[in-house]
Amino acid sequence: MALLHILNFPDPRLHKKAAPVKLVDDRIRQLVADMAETMYAAPGVGLAATQVDVHLRVLVIDTSEDKTGLQAFINPEIIALDGEQVCEEGCLSVPGIYEKVSRAARVRVRALNEQGKAFELDAEGLLAVCLQHEIDHLDGKVFVEHLSQLKQNRIKQKMAKRSRVTV
């Protein structure tokens, strides 16, 4: 396994739409393992392949307290949304920034697992938020784009300033 480099907003590669995975093979399983290791090390609860500059529809999530609930979603798609919730979100690509975002309270997702087998999952609460957040990444959208233009500009300025200060 390997730690992968996480792109930081406003890197334009974060806006690239991910392509569907054609075949779930050892290369994809290795990507899932590397993404999981990267997510845990960051630390975070979700990571999309787009964030590590791999533009395939793959994401990993673990919302468990003890980090034993890793789930991989290959070619995920939201097939149903219900309700509304406002949660404070953060992002490994926008470190240190947390903002309230409105999302569906419940989602139904269809995806493939690491063996290439199709499954559907109903999620609510934090898992529902994470799925929407990470699928947004696969569609080239970062959570700050759900915010007002003023907040987006402030966050871009803050991130640009941080990148200039870092050596």
Is 77 considered catalytic here?
Answer: no
Confirm whether residue 130 is marked as ligand binding. no
Any known ligand binding at 91? Answer: yes
Q: What is the DSSP string of the chain?
A: --PPPPP-TT-GGGGSPPBPPS---HHHHHHHHHHHHHHHHTT-SEEEGGGGT--BSEEEE---TTS---EEEEEEEEEEEES-EEEEEEETTEEEEEEEEEE-SEEEEEEE-TTS-EEEEEEEHHHHHHHHHHHHHHTT--GGGGS-HHHHHHHHHHHHHHHHH--
Reading the block at residue 30, the tokens are 């290795």
Cα distance between residue 153 and residue 23, in whole Å: 39
Q: Is 55 annotated as a binding residue?
A: no
Tell me which of 84, 89, 134, 145 is the catalytic residue: 134
* Residues with active-site annotation: 134
Instruction: Summarize the annotated binding site for Fe cation as residue ranges.
Output: 91, 133, 137
Instruction: Summarize the annotated binding site as residue ranges.
Output: 91, 133, 137
